[in-house]
Structure 1
């Protein structure tokens, strides 16, 4: 528990700006919520997008991911349902039958929310809290980044923060969840091994006004699913697309790289891949001559 609190303190520093007061407030928020119980209204009901009710007993897993979304701002932007689908798929692949998910929505326009849920084919159980009962009982933090919680079996808060918005929070959730995984008795994130076809790619000489594409091939050579948690680039001129689904042992994944020059130049750029491989993070490089 002390280790988790220490990590949370570091994350609070990373999430805040350089203003000392903001850091202090975030640290205070995290410590206040650690170990606190999330309270549920007595008449709460959950259902899926097809309208079928979900029995509360179905949430009896070792861990729960609980998130609350109010009606303030752009609902679609706040929900990020496609990212949540990827996250749930990843966790369920690594730790089957270990985590359940509870999404509480207090929408201003219920019809708009239902359209978004259907469009994204969102499968997790949801609760539409029209009267704000969850907020009244719990008084969630005003900062939307801290309205998501990792809970234990008794609905006690183990970690605070949205794993969709921050890779450090995601790593913390996985670290806590893996502590009881049957596949890893040491309590560490399940690791696998990878083989990379090449770590450096020369994109050649080309007209600087044209996009240049390349790809890196990564093979999961271990015996556990490979999950790419995040990919960062050294500048905005480089973008990377890839499948968010876990890569099964023996399978491969393509990272498609697109470089768009802002002016003629010789360039050397780096791409950092964070994943559950023993050699993570993986640093890839691209270079070329935009004429």
Structure 2
């Protein structure tokens, strides 16, 4: 009986020592890996942020004289037009790829050719009040190669 107890106790101690050693070895192996991973992730994040900042500072900038126009009071059925003037105040050519009104009653026209840094452009927006009553507020969403990729204009009218 004493021999069996001795063997069981020895096995328990040996097993406990082996598990403890495994944990220490695992900790020693994993710790440097985790540290390297965190360091690499930090470096990758810094590089990505630096690249994004570089691209943003080189991007064209659409600077509008104003981004909102109120037509005031208009008669139902009337078509009204406003020209939004802008300038490329960025460091590279401005390319407008699309401009869409928030509904079919708002139709934008935009330059299809590149606008060089320092040059100006115009966006013509026509609003049709046919079938509309009361206060109206519509937007024009512009897709361009600016840092954000999107710009927005707004028109308003009160239809009587």
TM-score between both structures, scaled by the size of structure 2: 0.61
The answer to whether the aligner puts 1:284 opposite 2:121 as a matched pair is no
Q: Note the residue ranges of structure 2 that are not aligned, 5 or more in a row.
A: 1-50
Output the CA distance in 2 between the equivalents of 1:280 and 1:200. Answer: 19
Deviation at 1:257, TM superposition (A): 0.5
Determine if contact 1:199/1:283 at 8 Å carries over to the other structure.
yes
Output the CA distance in 2 between the equivalents of 1:254 and 1:204. Answer: 21
| Residue of structure 2 aligned with 1:233, choices 83, 98, 101 | 101
Pairing 1:179-190 to 2, within 5 Å after superposition: none
Q: How many residues matched?
A: 107
Q: Secondary structure at the match of 2:117?
A: coil
Q: Note the residue ranges of structure 1 that are not aligned, 5 or more in a row.
A: 1-183
Determine if contact 2:96/2:142 at 8 Å carries over to the other structure.
yes
Deviation at 1:276, TM superposition (A): 0.8
RMSD: 2.2
For the pair shown, the structure with the greater C-alpha radius of gyration is 2
Pairing 1:69-108 to 2, within 5 Å after superposition: none
Q: Show structure 1 runs of 4+ deviating over 6 A.
A: none
Deviation at 1:255, TM superposition (A): 0.5
Alignment correspondent of 1:174: none
Higher strand share: 2
Deviation at 1:208, TM superposition (A): 1.4
Output the CA distance in 1 between the equivalents of 2:110 and 2:60. Answer: 19
Deviation at 1:218, TM superposition (A): 1.5
| Residue of structure 2 aligned with 1:221, choices 72, 89, 95 | 89
Pairing 1:7-156 to 2, within 5 Å after superposition: none
The answer to whether the aligner puts 1:202 opposite 2:63 as a matched pair is no
Determine if contact 2:99/2:110 at 8 Å carries over to the other structure.
no
Q: Which has the higher contact order (CA 8 A, sep 6+)?
A: 2
